[in-house]
Structure 1
Amino acid sequence: MDNILIIEDHQSTRQGLTSLLKNSGYQVDEAENGFEAEAMITGMPYDLVLVDLLLPYINGLDLLKKIKEISPDTEVIVITGNESVDSAINSMKLGAYDYLLKPFEPQKIIETVQHAIERKHFMRRSIDEDVSTPPSLVGRSRQMVEIFKLLARISDVESPILIIGEDGTGKKTLAHMIHQNSSRRAFPLITLNCCSLPDKLSEEQTFEHLRSKILEEAGKLDNEKVNCTLLLNNIDRASPFVQASLLFLLDASSRPQNQDSLLNGSIRLIATSKRNLKPLVEEKSFRQDLFFRISGLPIYLPPIRERKVDIPLLAHHFLSRYAISPAKSLSPAVLSRFMRYQWPGNVQEIKNVIEYALLMSTQDQITLEDLPSYLRESEPVLPQIAQERDLTLKELEKLYILKKLQTNAWDQKKTAKLLGIGRTTLWRRLKEYGAEVAPQHRKAEKFKACRF
């Protein structure tokens, strides 16, 4: 069943849309403001979002950008009145599928939603048909979809491939998938870890060591033909001696085959590097001739912090992979914490955290208490606001409003306009939160603007 999120601050409008779409066979969730909506979209990728352009606290266009940033595949329909048609048109330039004008015509709503969902299904089928996603590479971000498409095109290309990415991004996994999808999959994939190869030998001794290791890994005797894919892992950490020997080895393997060849057969080369090699070449710490030899087809694997939309997918992937019956789920608070964390260890760290949480969890749902201690520690949601626990939606709203008031020198009129609400609404919200704001005509420096 297709799932839809409605973001609308007017309760009657929100409930009317929900009832209409539920009766049409859709799964529908509701959010009354941008804060709540962002948390819900972070925890669950929706097929379609209907969002009012005139929301309190956040501009509808800004929320649209945020939705597309969190979940690029989600279709968005904006809701607006006649006075905001220009904004609705601008929203389509930002990625919205269409817009609906108030007052609504039920049939128009159903048709627009149906067309948006059909487009979503079409785009999903197109991606699935274009590329067979490797089971151990997970992602729906634009970056990963492009990598999956590229993988389908380059697997049988004989040009050397250089995979660049931080630790834990999946460089070796991608290399294995390239090999498995190629016509060379019947031949061995031989991995040489460049940072562990001996560098105190002469170039000739280092070359012979490499040659012997390849023959051993391939199960071949001296002078037997070796056809393989050679994976040079961590090539950016190869010593000068190892670099020279690798270049000699690669040149030898590309010569016309004869009985005197130093390494008979053919080698398909894949190299991985944590660092961009061009600056290393400029610093003369990496050989330029070796760089050109290995970098025929460069592939950049982005870190998790550059594709946060994939975090929930990766977390659920490892959860289903390692969970022992009964199946477990992740609490919204855990998913929210995952989205705020930077993941310096990338995919490998997500895997480790999920395995740890499964070991510690005694309930059907993994909570913050099941995470490693460094992830259990709360992070500030707003700058200069320290906290020791998760904020509720009301607390988050209160802190956000007070921060905007402070930024605007406690000018209620200016702040209310910025938030997209009336001054009376602002005053009522502050009273509801237990915050008393001093009269606007008094100078801010002469009083404590808010007291609790």
Structure 2
Amino acid sequence: MTLPTSSVQSLISYLEHEHDPMIVLDPDYNILAANGAYQRQFGVGTETYVGQKCYRVSHHYDRPCDLSGEHCPMKQARETRAPDRVLHIHHTPRGPEHVDVELRPIIGADGTVMAYVERLTRVTAASAQPRDHGLVGRSDAFNDVLSALMKAASSQIPVLLQGESGTGKELFAHALHKASPRARGPLVVVDCTGLSESLFESELFGHERGAFTGATQRKIGLVEAAHGGTLFLDEIGDVPLNMQVKLLRLIESATFRRVGAVDTQRADFRLVAATHKPLLDMVAERSFRQDLYYRISAYPIHLPALRHRADDIPLLVDSLLPRVAEGRRPSIDAKAMAKLCQYRFPGNVRELRNILERAMLLAGECQIGLPHLPPEVLRPSEPQPIAAAPRRGRYLKADELLSAVSDFSGTRAELAAALGMSERTLYRRLKSLGVDR
């Protein structure tokens, strides 16, 4: 059973009042209609998409998303009869963009799914194309984190960002703030590293004039400065143990007192914390309070190391080079890029930026090549045998994929079959790595 034409028109009339782009799909992935917001934001005329498959319009795929290596919300909604939400990268007139997709089934009187309504929201907190600021990425690992971030953004739940040093925890905190209802308020960053007990309390809560020697005037603390916005506690694992109880009281009661004051102040902020330390191990060692841990980790997000999102390295290189170029237009050759994609980056994105800055100095006005990369990048990587790679269902890292490509002598279709992925997915991943097989 399909949705009658009159019902489609009535539904579109209703959807015209929606601010977000929305389309109506039949159970065979065909686009039946779209509201004006979709046409304005995605810049296509009616004749270009009505009657076409949604996966062809949004992804340029020849098959549904789930057959092309991605999660398909329609398949999930068909099985569960409930809404499904996923973050995808869509092709738009502006190029590839992150889009938050929510799909809802329309159930007929006989219990069958008649159609689907899909809401598409552009995610501007990160970019799937090179840009000179903020988060960039399009790998599966990056998209998983971005999806988790967007789900948490609309609520007030405390978020704990965990990951190795150099993975961009502050950038992710900025993205979370930007996507939240508090985006118009301030984002106040508190670097907890190296703060003594007295300095931490004064910085966080502020102090009154005369509260201690040298306090010649009242000082507004960072908690007060974050009123109406987001308070980001970076490296919260470094907070002194005897200060953690005061931090816990602040979070639980949403109140604080300036040092030397009697009056209690109300706090109004959204809490985001970050650390590279194993907090649970610290809890077991009694160097971090268990009650504080559970207050700050209501919504934990683990940020992937760069070696686990190596598909993003070419995109990150194209984004970072202009940031450190000081007006120049540097470029990097294919061999140097391949070496960067194979390197494991113990220092993560911060190390990549340092490597590029050094390479630019050595290259001068020339293109960055192998002679301009540090010795640790040029060392041969550990061999990845092709026999170990093609286990179906296992995500291949960039170095494994590049090794498989170099060791395989068949066609692209045969290689895709050997690796357990669709030919389209293989093409997309090779293209992101700058490989034209």
**Shorter-chain TM-score: which interval?**
0.5 to 0.7
Q: CA deviation at 1:162?
A: 0.6
Instruction: Decide which of 201, 212, 225 is 2:206's aligned counterpart.
Output: 212
1:180 aligns to what? Answer: 178
| Partner deviation per Cα, 1:48-93 (whole Å, 9 max, x = no partner) | xxxxxxxxxxxxxxxxxxxxxxxxx99799xxxxxxxxxxxxxx97
Partners of 2:206 and 2:220 within 8 A in 1: no
What is the rounded CA distance, in whole Å, between the counterparts of 2:207 and 2:175 in structure 1? Answer: 23
Structure 1 SS opposite 2:274:
strand
Q: CA deviation at 1:238?
A: 2.2
CA root-mean-square deviation: 4.2
1:14 aligns to what? Answer: none
| Partner deviation per Cα, 1:89-147 (whole Å, 9 max, x = no partner) | xxx97949xxxxxxxxxxxxxxxxxxxxxx98489567385422434111111121122
| Partner deviation per Cα, 1:139-196 (whole Å, 9 max, x = no partner) | 1111211222333333232111111111000001111222233333343322222232
What is the rounded CA distance, in whole Å, between the counterparts of 1:302 and 1:310 in structure 2? Answer: 11
The 4+ residue runs of structure 1 with deviation greater than 6 A are 73-77, 213-216, 221-226
| Partner deviation per Cα, 1:257-288 (whole Å, 9 max, x = no partner) | xx975332312211001134223223322111
Structure whose residues are more often helix by fraction: 1
2:240 aligns to what? Answer: 239
Instruction: Decide which of 344, 348, 351 is 2:346's aligned counterpart.
Output: 344
What is the rounded CA distance, in whole Å, between the counterparts of 1:181 and 1:284 in structure 2? Answer: 35
1:108 aligns to what? Answer: none
* 1:127 is the counterpart of 2:109: no
2:274 aligns to what? Answer: 272
What is the rounded CA distance, in whole Å, between the counterparts of 1:379 and 1:223 in structure 2? Answer: 49
Structure whose residues are more often strand by fraction: 2
Q: CA deviation at 1:319?
A: 1.6
Mapping of residues 347-426 of structure 1, within 5 Å? 347-375=349-377, 377-379=378-380, 382=383
Gaps of 5+ in 1: 1-72, 78-91, 97-118, 384-395, 402-452
Partners of 2:125 and 2:176 within 8 A in 1: no
What is the rounded CA distance, in whole Å, between the counterparts of 1:214 and 1:240 in structure 2? Answer: 24
Mapping of residues 88-107 of structure 1, within 5 Å? 95=69
Structure 1 SS opposite 2:380:
coil
Gaps of 5+ in 2: 1-58, 71-88, 101-120, 127-132, 210-214, 385-402, 409-437
Structure 2 SS opposite 1:268:
strand
Structure 2 SS opposite 1:343:
coil
Question: What one-letter code is carried by the residue in structure 1 that aligns with 2:241?
Answer: P
Give TM-score scaled by structure 1 length.
0.51
CA gap of 1:223–1:149, structure 2 versus 1, over 3 A, is: closer
Instruction: Decide which of 105, 121, 138 is 1:140's aligned counterpart.
Output: 138
* 1:301 is the counterpart of 2:299: no
Structure 2 SS opposite 1:285:
coil
Partners of 1:194 and 1:242 within 8 A in 2: no
Question: What one-letter code is carried by the residue in structure 2 that aligns with 1:306?
Answer: H
What is the rounded CA distance, in whole Å, between the counterparts of 2:311 and 2:188 in structure 1? Answer: 34
Q: CA deviation at 1:248?
A: 2.6
1:439 aligns to what? Answer: none
Give TM-score scaled by structure 2 length.
0.53
Q: CA deviation at 1:351?
A: 1.2
Instruction: Decide which of 154, 162, 183 is 2:160's aligned counterpart.
Output: 162
Amino-acid identity (%): 30
What is the rounded CA distance, in whole Å, between the counterparts of 1:214 and 1:312 in structure 2? Answer: 51
CA gap of 1:269–1:133, structure 2 versus 1, over 3 A, is: closer
Structure 2 SS opposite 1:177:
helix
Matched length:
273
Q: CA deviation at 1:335?
A: 1.0
What is the rounded CA distance, in whole Å, between the counterparts of 1:127 and 1:222 in structure 2? Answer: 34
Mapping of residues 242-321 of structure 1, within 5 Å? 242-253=243-254, 262-321=264-323
